[in-house]
Amino acid sequence: MKELTRIISVLLKEKRDVVLSVLFGYLAGIAAVSLFAANGFLISQAALEPPLYVLIGMVAVVKIGSIIRATSRYGERLFSHRATFTMLSDLRVYFYERIEKMAPSKIQQFRSGDLLARIVGDVESLQNFFLRVVYPPILMVTVFLTTLLFLSFYSIEVVILLTVGLIVTGFVIPAWFAKKQRALSGGIREERAKFSTEVTEWFQGFRELKIHQQLEKKEEQLIAASDAYVEEHRKSESEVNKNHSINLGASFVILWSVLAVGGYLVASNQLDGIFLAMIVMISLNVFEHSTPMAAFPVYYEESERAASRLQDVVSEDKSDKENTVDLPKGPLSITLDHVHFRFPGELRETIRGVSLDIKAGSKVAIVGASGSGKSTLLKLLLKMYQINEGSFRISGVPIENIQAENIWASTKVILQENQFFSGTIKDNLLAAEEMHDEEVAFLLEKVELSHFSPTDPVLEKGENLSGGEKQRLAMARALVKSGNLWLLDEPTSSLDGWTEQRMYRLLEEHAKSDTVILVSHRLTGLEKMDQIIVMDHGKIIENGSFEELMVANGYFYELKELEKNIVEL
């Protein structure tokens, strides 16, 4: 219910349409009951052969009643559907806005298909929340109460019977089904997410699955996920139908009871026989408003689950919300003091008591064995994850007090894997909309991509670019982005030695006064760095200038010697 409260607060933005749809729904309900009442009365009156003008008057009343019923039903449909669609769009905007602000690491906790199912499917399920969860009980209770008030002028016995009917069909049976519904394992939402995850993986991994001849096995998993989803749907539908039938059955029992009690009251002269047909017709119609309650438990349960699954995705990072300090303009300094970090759900620490001091405007290289935690350190700098222990400051400001967005705005980043999108070369520079094509062409020339024009197409994930071209395009992307802190994770690993040297020269030119942190496996060109940090198993084992580390004759020296021997071989 806690999750639904947030959803309700988003939905309540559409107050006007909600109020209007309830109002018109009530009018339509009352008009329908009155119409049936008038019909019942008319039938009885007709049997007594009244004067023609009485009959004409009554037929006119029935006609007017049907016009009111039709127009108010139209108004109800119009406003309730308009409210539903606007709520759907409000919900979409609400979740996209929240997702946009989230750290990428939070999104990465979800498999992409699951995330898609949540953002699209679960948001869509919530459109039923107003129409099938909030609206039916309001309408049922208001129409029932008005009808009971009217009937109380004729027979208290019938009022009691209908009140029992209202409680049984509107509350007892739905509550009983709600309990059963909760006990049902799985749920449509979960199965749909699993199915969507399998489909996404099937598409994304199609090439690898085909080459490794695993397509059939994956297809079997896909079919199993689809069957489970269909089965869940079937179970849910059958539950609704069962609930519906029992509800309808109960309302008929009440109806027969009304007829029996009414008959007895007429026979014992406690009720004028002319009203019997009217009372029965009213009872017949009023139960129409408790039938939608059959689906109430299913939709309530689904809405609650969908809201909770969405809340899981966008649950807030409190520390980030309270942050207010902006990073200073210009080159940034970085200080880490005994920082520890463990990936969520992992027992082993990836960063173990790292302390370092990077001065503003200095050029720093991080080297070390594969898996030693170099990339993780960059991710911590980008606030993609929160540190578990220690202190971490950027230009003196504790990282807890800086919004991740603020760090990203001040940073030029090249990661090991850079994402490219279907579009043009210029689109993929990401921050180049304002640039003229000539400027883009000049930039491409700088990163040695002059064989591309700004308008050349790029396929999804940069499929039509070589590894080295992707890295040079990522370099161009970093060049056009704002910021004075460069975080580069093996930005030239796919380039030949000559091109790599030229790229480093370009970087030197552009980052003269900026702070640069470069993760690299290759040790050539590190002589120019102010500081070299050597990492092993999540710890800093050596730290100093190139000369200092060479003199120290330690791990870095050995690495350098090893690289020299490999080159000579």
Ligand X SMILES: Nc1ncnc2c1ncn2[C@@H]1O[C@H](COP(=O)(O)OP(=O)(O)OP(=O)(O)O)[C@@H](O)[C@H]1O
Residues that bind ligand X (CB under 6 A): 343, 346, 350, 368, 370-376
CB of residue 373 vs ligand X: minimum separation in angstroms? 4
Which of 368, 491 has the CB closer to ligand X? 368
Which of 102, 325 has the CB closer to ligand X? 102
CB of residue 368 vs ligand X: minimum separation in angstroms? 6
Cβ-contact 318, 386 below 8 angstroms? no
Which of 108, 270 has the CB closer to ligand X? 108
Which of 302, 489 has the CB closer to ligand X? 489
CB of residue 20 vs ligand X: minimum separation in angstroms? 50
The H-or-E segment that residue 85 falls in is helix 52-101
DSSP track, 336-350: EEEEEE--TT-SS-S
Distances (CA, A) of 13 to 93, 125, 139, 384, 558: 13, 18, 20, 33, 66
Q: Which residues contact 351 (CB under 8 A, 6 or more apart)?
A: 339, 340, 341, 373, 376, 377, 380, 387, 538
Q: Which two tokens stand for residue 271?
A: 């009720």
3-state secondary structure of 531: strand
CB of residue 314 vs ligand X: minimum separation in angstroms? 20
Beta bridge partners of 414: 488
CB of residue 519 vs ligand X: minimum separation in angstroms? 6
Q: Which two tokens stand for residue 391?
A: 């202190």
Which of 100, 346 has the CB closer to ligand X? 346
CB of residue 490 vs ligand X: minimum separation in angstroms? 7
Which of 202, 343 has the CB closer to ligand X? 343
Which of 440, 519 has the CB closer to ligand X? 519
- Rounded to whole angstroms, the Cα distance separating 123 from 92 reads 7
Distances (CA, A) of 530 to 89, 207, 282, 351, 527: 53, 44, 89, 23, 8
H helices present in 382-436, as ranges:
404-409
CB of residue 536 vs ligand X: minimum separation in angstroms? 9
Cβ-contact 154, 162 below 8 angstroms? no
